[in-house]
């Protein structure tokens, strides 16, 4: 197979785009596509300071690579989740990436506060991903504030968005559909805009880009991801894609351009108060992260306290 | 077809690209005996399973034999990516790396 652009031997074939690329042409194609998405969706401009949420996986490192190479000002932020060897390797890959490119990386370690994801799971008796998601949202928001960034970029890709959209549509979760957008505007002055510059690039595209640009990423998955419903949706969509290339792209793209406007977000209004724990905006006395933390600390204290008899 | 060394192969069942595969595991290892002609060695990552596959002329045949949906793995030989029409040759060592992330 030959490169559609220069006729050299191709390394990547994208059926959804009816094209094949050699290494050099693919890297150019991918970067341009991400930049065009950022510009078209008005995600941010050259003056922005972008907090890139980096996990050490292919998507977030590919995103960081593109943003840095294209001259955007970035700060990488890695939340160390404390999920055994997986988290250890994730931090290692992220640090190596930043060091090799001379990029600014900030990290926060959940275990420092006794909040490693496995510990939160045990204390709350709920799925790991619930507490993990709450912690990520909280730390991304507060890191943007702390490091003076005006936008948060995450590595969610086309497959992530398509799987999430399918899940939301299957249950007609209109409130979730209203919030599934590639650009989320802040609802409070202490929050910043959140964007997904890879929402139109598939996992195959980001993985190919990472490999061909020599990015060393964590190939293994978070052990808690196994069996997630999202993987079932992804498998269904991949089968659809293989018989009808471009399905995922049109599913997500058409939703964003034509469908999503029909689902109006029920605004909760500006958050009225300030969290007593962390100072971030909050709907109650404590924000959802601080109440989670309080719940965990209460349970951990009662579990370690000697049984008292009266 | 998939082959495993009669004496040392073990049945394996695992998931790659979210497709259940039943296949026989390659147990020769790097120090094992020389492969018969027409056999391609395959390693699946991140699972780390190894197989030998015979009669796979092209990448597309390999994926079909392993029941892997095209587009769910990178097909890596050395420092290169292979497209589905790429020819395979005897003693090729191929990494099939899942591109799917979940959670
Ligand atoms: S899969 Fe792992 S990293 Fe992802 S939300 Fe769940 S616990 Fe967190
Ligand atoms: Zn080319
Ligand atoms: Zn708080």
For residue A255, give the DSSP letter: I
Helices (H), chain A: 23-40, 58-69, 84-101, 117-124, 128-146, 158-170, 174-179, 203-212, 229-243, 247-254, 288-304
Is the pLDDT at B12 greater than 50, yes or no? no
- The pLDDT value recorded for residue A292 is 95
Go through chain B and tell me how many residues it has. 103
Task: State pLDDT tens for residues B62-75.
Answer: 999 999 999 999 99
Residues lining ligand 1, Cβ inside 6 A:
A 81, 117, 128-129, 132-133, 222, 224-225; B 103
Domain membership flag for residue A204: yes
- The pLDDT value recorded for residue A303 is 82
Q: Any chain B CB within 8 A of the CB of A211? A: yes
Residues of B with CB under 8 A from a CB of A: 17-19, 45-46, 69-72, 74, 76, 80-86, 97-103
**Nearest one of A44, A101, A107 to A76, comparing CA atoms:** A107
Is the pLDDT at A225 greater than 70, yes or no? yes
Question: What is the Cα gyration radius of chain A?
Answer: 21
Domain membership flag for residue A73: yes
High-pLDDT (> 70) share of chain A, %:
96
- The pLDDT value recorded for residue A301 is 86
- The pLDDT value recorded for residue B36 is 61
Residue A228 — very low, low, confident or very high, per pLDDT cuts 50/70/90?
confident
Domain membership flag for residue A12: no
- The pLDDT value recorded for residue A271 is 66
Q: Any chain B CB within 8 A of the CB of A61? A: no
Domain membership flag for residue A270: yes
Q: Any chain B CB within 8 A of the CB of A110? A: no
Question: Phi/psi of residue A231, each to 5°?
Answer: -70, -35
Range of the domain at A85: 42-219+254-295
Q: Any chain B CB within 8 A of the CB of A242? A: yes
Domain membership flag for residue A291: yes
Mutate to test the interface with B, among A81, A204, A208, A209 (most CBs of B within 10 A): A204
- The pLDDT value recorded for residue A94 is 98
Q: Any chain B CB within 8 A of the CB of A12? A: yes
A142 alpha carbon – ligand 3 mean position (Å): 10
Q: Domain count for chain A, please give it.
A: 1
Is the pLDDT at A310 greater than 60, yes or no? no
Residue closest via CA to ligand 1's atom 7 equals: A129
Give bridge partners of residue A245 from the DSSP assignment: none
DSSP string, A193-251: EEE-TTTTS-HHHHHHHHHHTT-----SPPGGGTT-HHHHHHHHHHHHHHHSTTHHHHH
Walk me through the domains of chain B, giving residue ranges and CATH numbers.
Answer: 40-98 (3.10.20.30)
Rounded average pLDDT over B17-21: 42
> Any residues with CB less than 8 A from the CB of A263 and at least 6 apart, and which?
A174, A177, A178
* Nearest chain A CA: its distance from B70 CA (Å): 7
Residues of chain A neighbouring B86 (CB-CB closer than 8 A): 1
| pTM listed for this prediction | 0.90
Give chain A's end-to-end CA distance (angstroms, integer): 80
Is the pLDDT at A268 greater than 70, yes or no? no
Task: Tell me the count of A-B CB pairs closer than 8 A.
Answer: 84
Angle between helices A58-69 and A203-212 (to 10 degrees): 60
Is the pLDDT at A160 greater than 80, yes or no? yes
- The pLDDT value recorded for residue B15 is 44
* Nearest chain B CA: its distance from A50 CA (Å): 24
Is the pLDDT at B96 greater than 60, yes or no? yes
CA A244 to chain centre: 27
Six-digit token string for A156:
């969610």
Domain membership flag for residue A84: yes
CATH of the domain at A116: 3.40.50.620
- The pLDDT value recorded for residue B20 is 42
A11 neighbors B81 (Cβ within 8 angstroms): yes
Residues A211, B74: C-beta atoms closer than 8 Å: yes
Domain membership flag for residue A247: no
Domain membership flag for residue A285: yes
């Amino acid at each position: 197979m030959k490169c559609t652009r220069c006729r050299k031997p191709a390394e990547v074939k994208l059926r959804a785009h009816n094209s094949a690329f050699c290494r050099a042409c693919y890297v150019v194609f991918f970067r341009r596509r991400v930049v065009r998405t950022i510009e078209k969706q008005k995600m941010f401009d050259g003056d922005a300071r972008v907090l890139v949420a980096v996990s050490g996986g292919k998507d977030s490192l590919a995103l960081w690579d593109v943003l840095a190479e294209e001259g955007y000002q970035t700060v990488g932020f890695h939340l160390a989740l404390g999920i055994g060897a997986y988290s250890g390797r994730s931090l290692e890959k992220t640090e190596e990436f930043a060091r090799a490119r001379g990029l600014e990386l900030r990290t926060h370690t959940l275990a420092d506060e006794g909040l490693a994801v496995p510990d939160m799971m045990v204390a709350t008796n709920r799925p790991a991903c619930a507490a993990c998601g709450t912690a990520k949202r909280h730390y991304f928001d507060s890191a943007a504030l702390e490091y003076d960034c005006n936008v948060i970029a995450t590595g969610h890709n086309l497959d992530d968005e398509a799987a999430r959209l399918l899940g939301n549509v299957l249950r007609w979760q209109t409130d979730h559909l209203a919030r599934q957008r590639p650009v989320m505007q802040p609802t409070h002055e202490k929050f910043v805009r959140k964007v997904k510059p890879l929402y139109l690039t598939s996992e195959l595209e980001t993985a190919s880009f990472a490999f061909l640009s020599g990015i060393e990423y964590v190939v293994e998955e978070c052990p808690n991801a196994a069996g997630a419903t999202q993987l079932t949706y992804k498998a269904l969509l991949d089968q659809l894609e293989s018989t009808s290339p471009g399905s995922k792209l049109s599913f997500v793209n058409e939703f964003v351009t034509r469908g999503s406007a029909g689902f109006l977000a029920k605004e909760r209004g500006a958050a009225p108060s300030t969290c007593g724990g962390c100072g971030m905006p909050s709907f109650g006395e404590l924000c959802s992260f601080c109440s989670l933390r309080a719940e965990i600390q209460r349970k951990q204290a009662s579990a370690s306290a000697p049984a008292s008899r009266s | 077809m998939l082959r495993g060394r009669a004496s040392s192969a073990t049945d394996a069942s695992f998931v790659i690209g979210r497709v259940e595969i039943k296949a026989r595991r390659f147990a020769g290892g790097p120090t094992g005996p020389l492969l018969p002609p027409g056999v391609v060695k395959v390693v699946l990552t991140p699972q780390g399973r190894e197989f030998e596959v015979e009669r796979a002329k092209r990448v597309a045949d390999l994926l079909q034999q392993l029941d892997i949906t095209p587009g769910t793995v990178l097909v890596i030989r050395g420092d290169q990516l292979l497209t589905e029409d790429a020819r395979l040759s005897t003693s090729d060592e191929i990494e099939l790396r899942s591109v799917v992330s979940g959670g």
